[in-house]
Amino acid sequence: MNILICNDYEEMSKKAANMIAAQLIVKPDSVLGLATGGTPTLMYRELVRLYKEGVVDFSKMTSFNLDEYYPIQKSSPRSYYDYMRINLFDHVNIRQGESHIPNGEASDPHKECKEYDEMINACGGIDLQLLGIGGNGHIGFNEPGEYFEMGTHLVNLNEETKEANARFFEEGEEVPTKALSMGIGNIMNAKKILLIANGTEKADAIYDMIHGKISPKLPASILQLHRDVTVILDKDAASKFMFS
């Protein structure tokens, strides 16, 4: 693993945006795996800035998002569909129909998952996969468990994840209990992986991801076996790892 430790969230976001921009400059028709959540918001803002400055072009790329709540309407302001529109897709020249997100409105979630995997394969797989990490070590919504799920699948979100997600919902609003998520196989098949994390609440998971036993109980630990992973952290997320 190539590990970069930044002074703060802003530096982490800029470095991550630069890596995605570099990928698109070198291979304009890249297939990107994209992530949502609190961590990448500033990184997306930075990518939009690079696009507006003419540094990066999205017109030939294809993207696949890691996950989506299930069930959820695309129009819901809590959907990852809406998140991607607001944070990236509305501001750059990505082609219509080339940005894929698991469909939270699908009537048959298992069929949706199978078709999602088929679409990723038909595009030749993912060139660069962006990941955040949960405080419990999840990547995508691959929750700690007894085995690694390979393909896109329907997930029961665990209590820690629901609590972490609750910050994006109004009081009294129901926090989704399920999601559609790419599996560990989809992630590990990506040619390159970029994982970003900030804040002390991620420090334990980062430590275990790098130094822990490889186990589905800490899904991110599987990344120790991938040949091309870059981890970009702020000082807080790196705090346990740095001083161990």
Structure tokens at 111: 């069929």
DSSP 123-182: TT--SEEEE---TTS-BTTB-S-SS---S-EEEEPPHHHHHHHGGGS-TTSPPPSEEEE-
CB of 122 to ligand PGA, least distance (A): 26
Rank residues 109 and 137 by Cβ distance to ligand PGA and give the closer one. Answer: 137
Structure tokens at 70: 């299930």
Number of residues assigned to the chain: 244
CB of 11 to ligand PGA, least distance (A): 17
Catalytic residues: 67, 136, 138, 143
Question: Under 8 Å CB-to-CB from 240, ≥6 apart: which residues?
Answer: 203, 204, 206, 207
Rank residues 25 and 86 by Cβ distance to ligand PGA and give the closer one. Answer: 86
Which residues contribute to the site for ligand PGA (CB under 6 A)?
Answer: 37-39, 132-134
CB of 164 to ligand PGA, least distance (A): 6
Rank residues 33 and 134 by Cβ distance to ligand PGA and give the closer one. Answer: 134
Rank residues 38 and 212 by Cβ distance to ligand PGA and give the closer one. Answer: 38
| Residue nearest to ligand PGA as judged by C-beta position | 37
- Report the first-to-last Cα separation within the chain, whole angstroms: 17
Amino acid at 98: E
Q: What is the edge-to-edge ordering of all strands in the sheet holding 153-156?
A: 67-69, 178-181, 153-156
Rank residues 37 and 176 by Cβ distance to ligand PGA and give the closer one. Answer: 37
CB of 148 to ligand PGA, least distance (A): 16
CB of 98 to ligand PGA, least distance (A): 24
Rg of the chain over CA atoms, in angstroms? 17
C-alpha closest to that of 149 among 180, 112, 195, 103: 180
